[in-house]
Amino acid sequence: MLLRIVSVMFPVFAIVAVGYWYGRLKKPDMRVANQLNMEFFVPALVFAALASKSFDLQSYWLLAVGGVVVILGSGLVAWPLARCLKVDPRLFVPPMMFSNCGNMGLPLAILAFGESALPAAVMLFLVGNTLHYSLGIWMMSPTARLMGLWREPVILASIAGLAVSLLQVQLWQPLYFAIKMLGDVSIPLLLFSLGVRLTQADFSDVRFGLLGAVVCPVAGLLFAALSVWLLPLPPEHAAMLIVFGALPPAVLNFVFAEKYGVQPERMASLVMVGNLMSVLFVAMALYWVL
């Protein structure tokens, strides 16, 4: 069992480590690569997964409900905790709700459960991203305009992929494989980019970071287990939801904190410490489900 967990986690953290090493050595500007990833490669991955012949929306809606329960439930835990600790809820609550389901969740799902798990991982990724770009932004800045959500390439790609699936459109196979090949670029680039981002980590408030690093996966696992108990999920979807619950705070939380002026330095500590400590909680989740 230990060997299997290591075999799942090693490629993920090895690529992150390579990104960290290269980031320290060369200090690359990843903005263009990240922009390409979010505007082309990740949308291609999402579209290919949803438009594949094996994808059936009815088979995944309960998993989507479970993802919503994990996200909103984590917020219900984090909000009163932030009040008790006298921490700005805008700083503490969103990163406890919105986890790293892109950089870490997608590759972990494929390595742990195989290529057939990609549509389920993409469904959880879409749930997390859609809520993050709407509810998450509103929580940080209630006056922010949310219409930009529908211009996000990932959302547009998901709508297109779902339309292809629901209407049973048969894509020309060479076109489908070209899109899928573009999507295959996204996962290693997500991990490499995360490693580079860790070189810019701000550990000025380690205690606050450690608090978030524990609360985020513990709350996520609690509500993932509750969802598995309440919802008639297939075993493979239940396992995916448990791993989803154990993920650390998303790097996107720092991007939004910087954009809306919500103490970005403390958010950086919370996000980066959480991602470093994720090796412990992800290993626990994998031990639980494998």
How far apart are the C-alpha atoms of 135 and 141, rounded to whole Å? 10
The tens digit of pLDDT for each residue in 45-96 reads 999 988 887 677 788 999 999 999 999 999 999 999 999 999 999 999 999 9
**Model-wide pTM > 0.95:** no
Q: Name the residue among 94, 135, 77, 35 with its Cα closest to residue 257.
A: 94
As averages over each run of 10 residues, the pLDDT of the chain (290 residues) reads 83 91 93 88 91 80 96 97 93 95 88 90 91 90 73 87 88 93 91 85 77 95 97 96 95 84 84 87 92
What percentage of the chain has pLDDT greater than the value 90?
51
Q: Name the residue among 217, 204, 221, 278 with its Cα closest to residue 16.
A: 278
Range 2-289 classified under CATH 2.90.10.10: no
**Number of helical (H) and strand (E) elements in the chain, helices listed first:** 15, 0
Contact criterion met (CB below 8 Å) for 254 and 140: no
pLDDT for position 25: 95
